[in-house]
Amino acid sequence: MGLQQKTVFITGASRGIGRAIALKLAAEGANIVIAAKSVTEDPRLGGTIYTVAEEVEQAGGKGLAVQLDIRQEEQVAAAVEQAVSKFGGIDVLINNASAIQLSGTQQTEAKRFDLMHAINVRGTFLMTQHCIPHLKKSSNAHILTLSPPVNLHSKWLAPHVAYTITKYNMSMMALAWAAEFKADKIASNTLWPRTTIATAAVKNLLGGEDLIQRSRSTDIVADAAYYIVSKENLQYTGNNFIDEEVLQAEGVSDFDKYAINPDAGLFPDLFL
């Protein structure tokens, strides 16, 4: 069936992984809703909803830039209606927007705890809730949430419990939606990278340029996302996918092309 003329709504799409997925799916002929807060460029982060919309058009898709704070339900509802008014429906929702702080219990301020829960959990829930009526009308509907496999071993929980539980909540919701909406033929999966990914967040918050050199490009996540949302008839649903495994299943064996520096040792993602 392909993605030609399919409408993909991507949160947090002004930069990083969200932008990469937008451009990959646009190259396949999809309509892309670029939803994010960024309307003016931050030199540390780069990109706005408008610059990505232009890139989407250049890549071969149709773009709609929508300023959106997914913490605000009225904005979520308005953004969904704007997308449907422009493109006639929604076929794929990609829950990519997320807030991060890798701190221990005593170092996590209440306002940061609340922010991560408001965006990662509540925002993802509201975004999906408002898209469901339109996804039900699609001939090949997908929800793809960028969150890790759930592993309750203390080594994953102890270092940054506030952040970890928000990401696990995202994954549990995605698995719930696979079951809840199976009869409506809406596929729901999660996707997470095997290694760190070269994004502004990794550079600014996690490890600087040294970690960037040991990371893979956003293209690996975008390519994996493409294969997942291209599947039909619930062939893929209820899975916690890892990008590398998705690509291996598609016959991809050359992963050096995704490495920022093929000579540097890759750094595993913090949840893997």
Task: Supply the residues annotated as catalytic.
Answer: 163
Distances (CA, A) of 110 to 70, 116, 265: 19, 10, 36
Query: Could you tell me what percentage of the chain is helix, strand and coil, using 3-state DSSP and rounding each to the nearest 5?
Result: 45, 15, 35
**β-bridge partners, 216:** 197, 259
> How many C-beta atoms lie closer than 10 Å to residue 101's C-beta?
16
Give the CA diameter of the chain: 51
Q: Which has the closest alpha carbon to 235: 191, 190, 173, 187? A: 187
Pairing state of beta strands 31-36 and 141-146?
unpaired
Whole-angstrom distance, CA of residue 169 vs CA of residue 149: 10
